[in-house]
Amino acid sequence: MNAWLYLHFPHLLLDYQLALQPPELSTMPQALTQSHAARRTVVQANNAALQQGVQVDMAEVLASTLVPQLKLHDYDATKESAMLTQLAQVLYQDMAQIVLQPPQGLLFEVQSLLRLHQGFAGVVKRMQARLQQWPLRYILSSGYSPLSAKLLAASGHSVLSTEPADVKAAIAELPIEYSGLPEPQIEKLRNVGLLTLGAVLQLPAAELGARFGRAITTYVAELNGDFSAPQSFYHPPHRFDEQVELNAEVHSWPQLLFPLKRLLQQVESFLEIHQWSTRALLIRAHHRTGPATQVPIQFAHAVWQQRDLLSLSQLHLERQKLKQPVLALSVRVQRPESRQAKEQAMFSAPQAQTDSLNALVSRLQARLGESKVQSLHVHDDWRPEYQGTLKPWQSDSTSGGLLLPRPAWLLPQAEPTERQQWQLQWGPERIVSGWWNADTIARDYYIALDQWQRQGWIYQCDKGWFLHGWFS
């Protein structure tokens, strides 16, 4: 009996990113690249790119010469592993025993599910149906051991059979490059003409061990299923706060619909797994600079299905305007509740309070929203307008490095003034800066007294004299 299934996603990161975009964008050739030593090579490519001759492992320079319109992005194994975890959560609805094999694989124990899904074929069908919702390229294979299933799937062989003999035959054919062994080991095996896994498995274990060490005998035992390392199975998290990075800057809410759909699909999986529902979501759109745009969404009833989540969210979002382009989108499930549980009070009675600032702030944040609680920060910039900013409250706020004599009261807008009204005390402090974001100022600042002996901060620029703040 082949008790294991293995799902391999050879282009997971790219496919996932494309899944967040309108489908027509997937027809553009796209690829992910990564540097290895001095070479930068393609590690994933979409079908459009592959059809035009781009290959995995091809040098980036060559690929982009071959397909000049090829869009390239950086590969990131951490991001890919995060996506794998999100996928595990989706599949957890059908499969109880999942092992993460980052960055691109998921291993499933099948035995325990045979009854539930009416046999092996039923399990496979169920899984395929679930994956249909996701435009991901994958290879699914069975195996009599975790390693046999993994090697087949990772090498692109989909053997779906209950017969160990079928798997054995396919494994024997597998070139040694696909053994998953470390490169030096593969090299050693090739050097003695052992070019397939079958050739290796035929040899007496003792002779192999004498030449290649214990690692290879362990490997053979693991492949045969005689020995298996303890697996650590996946447990779904109890909170949902996921973020997806967009491949391009997005300027309007309708363009965010695709990534939002995907996220809400995950929300449904999450709620389903726990048999929960929710009444509130927090959607955040992240920008290059500045705080994220937050859109809290309240549902009148507790909901858990994607279509319900989506329709209301869409209503909310259509009324919003995006002030800045969006680079990432995230969704947080707030206050999930058991589907059976009775309704709870909107705000539960206050607990015993600690008087620490943190506790106060977090309560304020809970009531008003995170962005509403802000504190003053000094930003390193010579331009006064850019120096003081309000930022969402952070407990470990660090102050800027520039210690300059600045008035406590800076006018929001400098006011034109007459030079004669002032008696200059100190100056000038000359500030000519800010060309990089096309907001150059060129001013000579003075500290000066007015006729009532009030200390003001005034400046001269090519437009004349202005009052910009008060020291007292």
Cis peptide before 336 (omega within 30 of 0): no
Q: Mask: binding to other proteins, 385-424, rule CB under 8 A, as x and -?
A: ---------------xxxxxx-------------------
Query: Is residue 436 close enough to count as binding other proteins by CB under 8 A?
Result: yes
Say if residue 260 is exposed, middle or buried (CB neighbours under 10 Å; 0-12, 13-18, 19+): buried
Tell me which residues in 104-133 interact with other proteins (CB under 8 A).
Answer: none
Compute the least distance from the CB of residue 14 to other proteins, in Å: 14
Query: What is the closest distance, in whole angstroms, from the C-beta atom of residue 383 to other proteins in the complex?
Result: 9
Find the shortest distance in angstroms from Cβ 193 to other proteins. 4
Angle between helices 205-212 and 214-224 (to 10 degrees): 140
Q: Kindly give the pairing relationship between strand 241-250 and strand 326-338.
A: antiparallel
Find the binder of other proteins among 74, 163, 249, 415 (CB under 8 A).
74
- Strand 39-45, strand 30-36: pairing: antiparallel
Residue from 25, 62, 248, 295 in contact with other proteins (CB under 8 A)? 62
The verdict on 341 binding other proteins (CB under 8 A) reads no
User: Which two structure tokens, joined as six digits, stand for 363?
Assistant: 């309560």
Which of the 8 DSSP states describes residue 177?
Answer: G
Residue 381 is a binding residue for other proteins (CB under 8 A)? yes
368 binds other proteins (CB under 8 A): no
**C-alpha dist (Å) from residue 72 to 18, 45, 345, 346, 450:** 13, 9, 50, 48, 60
**Is there a contact between 4 and 142 (Cβ–Cβ < 8 Å)?**
yes
**Backbone phi, psi, residue 333, to 5°:** -90, 125
Nearest in space to 334 (alpha carbons), one of 379, 287, 383, 276: 276
With respect to other proteins, which residue has the nearer C-beta, 169 or 205? 205
79, 137, 188, 287: residue in contact with other proteins (rule CB under 8 A): 188
Instruction: Please give the DSSP secondary-structure letter assigned to residue 175.
Output: B
Distance CA 269, CA 304 (A): 9
Write out the binding residues for other proteins, residues 294-323 only, by CB under 8 A.
none
Residue 3 or 431 with smaller CB distance to other proteins = 431
163 binds other proteins (CB under 8 A): no
CB of residue 214 to other proteins, shortest distance in Å: 7
Q: How would DSSP label each residue in 202-219?
A: HS-HHHHHHHH-HHHHHH
Binding residues for other proteins, rule CB under 8 A, total: 49
Residues shown for the chain: 472
Q: What element of type H or E holds 378?
A: strand 374-378
Measured from the CB atom, is 41 or 266 closer to other proteins? 41
Per CB under 8 A, the list member of 50, 203, 312, 449 interacting with other proteins is 203
Residues 221-260 touching other proteins, rule: CB under 8 A, are none
Between 204 and 412, name the residue whose CB sits nearer to other proteins: 204
CA distance 238 to 444: 57
The minimum distance between CB 442 and other proteins, in angstroms, equals 8
- 182 binding other proteins? (CB under 8 A): no
CA atoms of 70 and 66, how far apart (whole Å)? 9
Q: Is 437 a binder of other proteins (CB under 8 A)?
A: yes
Minimum distance, C-beta of residue 381 to other proteins, in the bound complex (Å): 5
CB of 428 to other proteins, least distance (A): 6
Which member of 23, 53, 369, 464 binds other proteins (CB under 8 A)?
Answer: 53
Phi, psi of 352 (to 5 degrees): -60, 125
Alpha carbons 170 and 151: distance in angstroms, whole number: 10
Residues that bind other proteins (CB under 8 A): 52-53, 58, 60-62, 64-66, 72-74, 188, 190-193, 195, 203-204, 206-207, 209-214, 380-382, 400-405, 426, 428-433, 435-438, 444
